[in-house]
Amino acid sequence: MTLAAAALAPLGLAAAQQAGPEVTGATASTGADIAVYPGGPALVREALRFRLPDGEGRITWGAPPSTLDLSSLSLLFPDRTSASVVEQRSLPGGASMEDLLRASVGRAVDLVLAGGDTLRATLLSGSGGLLLRKENGSIVSLGPGQVRQLLLPGLPEGQRLAPAVTWTVRAARGGQSTATARYLTGGLTWNAEYAITLAPSGGSLELEAWADLRDGSGRSWPNARVRLVAGELNRTGSPQSLADAARAKVMEAAAPSVAQAEERSFSEYHVFELPRAVSLEDGQTVRALLLRATDVPTRKLYMYDGGEAYGYGSSRPITQTQPGGSSGRTHVQAVLELASGEHTPVDRPLPAGRARIYEEDEDGSTLLAGEAPVPDLMVGDTVRLPLGRAFDLTAERTRTAFRRPDAHNLEEGYRITLRSAKKEPVQVHVTERMFRWHEWRITAEMVDGKPARHAKPDAEHAEWRITVPAGGRATLEYTVHYAWSEQDLR
């Protein structure tokens, strides 16, 4: 019998001998109802079975999660007129080896020595080894290597190996009963992971949306009904838990579920209910399928943003002579665009997460094309996922003109040269941010010496779509005119 086993054996007896009203133990039934938020907490509704005492008595629940938020815990009876809770008390646990040895000083202990002999002696000290008084009165000191097992007389009064909760309940009549423990707990979290595989043609993709559900709550949950809530929950303060932190351990993810989760809206959130009961083991990660969609229309875009965020949020015109945005040669960025909608393969809202994007080659092999964050996706949204730098596409940005004819006007010109080493023509989306002031207009614009026309997606940006020939280059040149009043300069 090990030390842990010796200490565990009298645990129920120690609980039953607490002073006060009659004590009964509560056991949890399987099938807890758990709603998990992305960063926590989780809302749990769990049925507890126990014998309701006559009149007033105490119910002890010895298996709560160690990360339970005590301020959120309620015990709810089906018929609230027949029984009610008059007091709730938390019992901390976690007695350490040092605690047990300290509490056993002066008491008789049994030892199995390294050679197999047994010894019964009185413990005098457990600090830095064992100091013992044998039955004949002699004193002996033993180090860790000399003792195979140490059997203590029992768990000291008032100490527990695990935390517990007790309720003082007043009931009209006693008997077997069931109540629901409702509470918030930490340690249960989830996040969305996306696997996107591009077809060799580049015109479609296969999308799999998964939810990774992690249990670090300090306990397991057999056959739980799990709902995953997408959205940001507003909370105040840091709740008090039964333990400082859930215990951590690393295990392989469980085999993924194959049926898709059912999605619905609730208040300001979206809820994904897993299609079957899930058994969560402490320290494990379970992966559940949210959506699998094939033949999703998509396109790869090439984008260059030269203006970046220079001067963002300025309350006055920016008049210094230095150019804004990037300069010199940089790579064009590759972006994957896909849309959702009621009549598309992606016909439901999807939560924010991380996407890994794979691309199939003509020979059937697959490579990782990039990773990108996915925002919360509503039905009808179009999302652009950055893939990284386009190896064969570069852009070089140079300022060609700067003129300030008076205190209220400024003209500036730029040239952007796009170069491609690809074997086919590509279209590049060029975006420039007019950072100096919100009153601006393009006075001249050309691509390879021919007139061009920009789009204005918002009040600060101009956008051009420029076709770059295979193995060639294309050059955009434009001039922008800014104007402001004397009042704007103050």
pLDDT in tens, 32-89: 999 998 877 899 999 998 888 788 888 888 878 888 898 999 999 987 667 889 999 8
Max CA distance (Å), the chain = 109
224 has pLDDT over 90? yes
What's the whole-model pTM score?
0.71
φ/ψ (deg, to 5) at 63: -135, 45
pLDDT in tens, 410-419: 999 999 999 9
Q: Tell me, what's the pLDDT at 347?
A: 80
φ/ψ (deg, to 5) at 95: -60, 125
> What average pLDDT is seen over the chain?
83
How far is residue 77's CA from residue 197's CA, in Å, rounded to a whole number?
51
Q: Tell me, what's the pLDDT at 113?
A: 92
258 has pLDDT over 50? no
φ/ψ (deg, to 5) at 75: -110, 115
Give which of 488, 166, 72, 80 is closest to 315, Cα–Cα: 488
Going along the chain from its start, the domains and CATH numbers come out as 3-94+160-185 (no CATH), 98-151 (2.30.30.100), 188-294 (no CATH), 296-337+380-489 (2.60.40)
Q: Tell me, what's the pLDDT at 254?
A: 40
Q: Tell me, what's the pLDDT at 218?
A: 85
Give which of 229, 286, 216 is closest to 33, Cα–Cα: 229
Which stretch of DSSP H or E encloses residue 400?
strand 382-406
Higher pLDDT, 16 or 241: 241
**Range in 134-138, 321-325, 409-413 the model is least confident about:** 321-325
3-state class of 71 per DSSP? helix
Beta pairing partners, 55? 171
Q: How many CB atoms lie within 10 A of CB 453?
A: 9
Q: What is the DSSP letter of 487?
A: G
Higher pLDDT, 396 or 152: 396
Q: Tell me, what's the pLDDT at 244?
A: 41
Which stretch of DSSP H or E encloses residue 6?
helix 3-8
How far is residue 292's CA from residue 416's CA, in Å, rounded to a whole number?
41
Helices H, strands E: what count in the chain? 3, 30
Beta pairing partners, 300? 336
**Range in 159-168, 272-281, 290-299 the model is least confident about:** 159-168
